Amino acid sequence: MRDLRITGLHLRLVRNRIAMIRSHGIGSVRETIPRVILRLDTDAGISGWGEGTPWEAFSGTAEAAFEAIDGYFRKHLIGADAFRLPDIMLACDHEVFGEEAAKAAVEMALLDLQGKALELPVHQLLGGKIRDRIPLSFSIADPDIEADVERARDLVKGGWGIFKVKTGFSSHTNDLKRLEMLREGLGDIDLRVDYNQGLEPWDALRTLRDIEEFKPTFIEQPVARQHVDCMADLTAALDTPVMADESVFNAADALRLVNLRAADLFSCKIMKSGGIRGVQKVLAIAEAAGIPCYGGTLWEGPIALTAATHMIAAERNFPLGCEFYMPSVVYSADEIECPFAISEGQVIVPDRPGLGLDIDEDRLDRCTVRSA
């Protein structure tokens, strides 16, 4: 096929309203979520879409991601052949250290372009899908636990069966009460726990012994990302599998955790690994070590989560499902730029060319606070 030349780059910094507070071990999110939305135009009349949504307490700011694309990556994109994705991403890596969410946005826009030009869905570009649906988890993160339990009851009626409780932002006593309410109120569900680095290493084991009484499927990132030795001690001491999230951004992190036996499971996110190809490197190490993976998120909207859906659809080592619930449950429905397909507690894998999205730019414009 002939070259697919990029002729235009349009960038938006948007702020989407959310319907509830989301609290975690390292911070809370209220009112709005900032995201960077990228559109690449080509000489074939095809446009590709990407999204970069970091979290300032986790991996950086949306404003920095905007500046990385606008001020540093633009020159490597305009005039480039969209099929030369590895060359473009290498240039971006050399241009700016970090800014993984910005790089993820560029990569997914290029994959969207390629898929549309070849009339193939992105999962076909990744080798083909092995699943049509992905089990979906909802995170219990509202400080108003009664409200979240009621939401969870409604979701159970709709076919959802996986719930992850965000712990560590309140007292240990309150965390135990919340878990008790969920076990009693929702019956036989797949219950998971995520501290988001919320525990101190010296007290973590004693605290988690209490948590194990509720038989969670896993306990995610109990201590700060740098305390990998403590993660290894907890992984050895607990009966419940320990999942690494903030401790595993890239392949080098994954290799270190494997060597130290510091986790039983990995949470994989395209926003922290710089895109799908970065996650694939983590997955290769995880699979070789016998470590199952989970589709995690930050605060992404439907563009980024659709890209992650294509990735999980094409990868075998994702037996734990995903938490791609934000557009469907937390975002204000009238501000979402495109639908995100779920049914009966599962994400539906798209089969249309590229990412398979129809973007409503009027809705994006209403939420835009800056453009370039």
* Residue 137 identity (one-letter amino acid): S
Q: Are the CB atoms for 300 and 271 separated by under 8 Å?
A: yes
Q: Are the CB atoms for 154 and 186 separated by under 8 Å?
A: no
Please give the radius of gyration of the chain, using alpha carbons only, rounded to the nearest integer.
Answer: 20
Residue 8's DSSP bridge partners are 41
Q: Which of 231, 174, 171, 198 lies closest to 26, judged by CA?
A: 198
User: What are the structure tokens assigned to 328, written together?
Assistant: 């469907």
Task: Provide the edge-to-edge strand list for the sheet that holds 6-17.
Answer: 47-52, 32-42, 6-17, 368-371
361 sits in the region (left: phi over 0; alpha: psi -120 to 50; else beta) called alpha
Residue 293's DSSP bridge partners are 266
Q: 3-class SS at 146?
A: helix
User: What are the structure tokens assigned to 231, written together?
Assistant: 């993660």
Catalytic residues: 166, 323
∠ CA 283-286-289 to the nearest 5 degrees? 150
Q: Which residues of 177-189 are buried (b: 16+ CB within 10 A; e: fewer)?
A: ebbebbbeebeeb
User: What are the structure tokens assigned to 168, written together?
Assistant: 């560590």
Q: Which of 67, 112, 109, 72 lies closest to 91, judged by CA?
A: 72
